[in-house]
A and B are shown apart, each in its own frame.
Chain A
Amino acid sequence: MTLCDRLTEFRFDENFALGNGSPVALTNAMLATTFILVDDPEDLVWLNATVHWFANLSPLQVINIVFNLERNGTLITGTQQSVSNPTGVAATVNNVARLQFIDAPLLGQENPPVTPVVYTLIASFNTAAFTTGPITLSAAEIEGQN
């Protein structure tokens, strides 16, 4: 990392930007995947993910969902979010999850070749929750300027 870092690559996967997809259950579901190319141990990858999700809840029910980001199948960050129904009748409750992480996929490697790195957004833990989008996963490479 230098004082003159710049964004040099940007890739993304975005599904159902208008939230009109078919419902996908958040049970170990792969929601989005993208890749980016890195070639320097100091390359940073700025990851951003945003997901609208919802659950059909019974009265007074609470559920939690885990969202994970993986690099080449290995967990690098994750977060957890809830929705609750405090009323006495069944209801659908919506939320929006947001993940942000700075990855250094080649840190410590000497003279690495150009390397594609695959990032995947995964949701898990509850069959009662769904998404119809939008689902956005973006990866931006930040590297030092020559």
Chain B
Amino acid sequence: MSNINLFFIEPGKLSEFKVSEPAATVGGTSTINFPTDPSFVDLATVFLTVDEITDRVWVNGTVRWSGVFAAAGIISATFQLLRESIIVYQTIQDVASPVAATVDNIVHLEHIDLPMVSEKTTLTYTLRAQANATGASTNGPITLTVAELEANSC
């Protein structure tokens, strides 16, 4: 696409990809209980090296989790993505049950991060969780990926 003007330069080339997948199946890891506020539990951590101010980092996380109910109720879980110690993304998902039961759900997190670094820098991305009540947990699958996208040079 070098024969078109600057407006039409394609701003994207996948140049690095890292993954942390502590569990690829249900039961792939021992049960990780979600703590209540103000605590969080780390579910996955991954490292990525970026080196240009235009670099973008496409972060995707997927977690199957469940809530255990003794009676009708709703359990709410908060999931966060952190770059180093900075919260860059946060979402909330609930499970609900009309009776005593275990209810499963799958959450997906997607964030395009702009770390704005001007020199070679290794960044740590962390996926973590918390719940508003006891009874929430995961034993997989848990997947966290980071993809560096940089400008095309031609």
Residue of A nearest to B92 (CB): A94
Once A7-B13, A8-B12 are accepted as A-B contacts, the answer to whether A134 and B89 lie under 8 Å apart by CB is yes
Interface size on B, residues (CB 8 A): 35
Bound CA–CA A141/B13 (angstroms): 10
A contacts, CB < 8 Å to B: 6-12, 14, 17-19, 37, 39, 48-50, 52, 54, 83-88, 91, 93-96, 98, 114, 134, 136, 138, 140-141
Chain A residues near B94: list those with CB within 8 A: 83, 93-95
Chain B residues near A141: list those with CB within 8 A: 10, 12
Chain A nearest CB, measured from B21 CB (Å): 18
Q: Is B48 an interface residue (CB 8 A)?
A: no
- B127-154 toward A: CB 8 Å interface, digit per residue (1/0)? 0000000000000000000000100100
Chain B residues near A49: list those with CB within 8 A: 110
Q: List 28 A-B contacts (CB under 8 A).
A: A6-B13, A7-B13, A8-B152, A10-B56, A10-B58, A17-B90, A17-B111, A37-B8, A39-B1, A48-B110, A49-B110, A50-B91, A50-B110, A84-B96, A86-B98, A87-B73, A91-B74, A93-B94, A93-B96, A94-B76, A94-B94, A96-B91, A96-B108, A98-B110, A136-B110, A138-B110, A138-B112, A140-B12
Chain B nearest CB, measured from A144 CB (Å): 13
- Contact B10 A8, beta carbon cutoff 8 Å: yes
Chain A nearest CB, measured from B59 CB (Å): 10
Bound CA–CA A6/B12 (angstroms): 10
Bound CA–CA A14/B96 (angstroms): 28
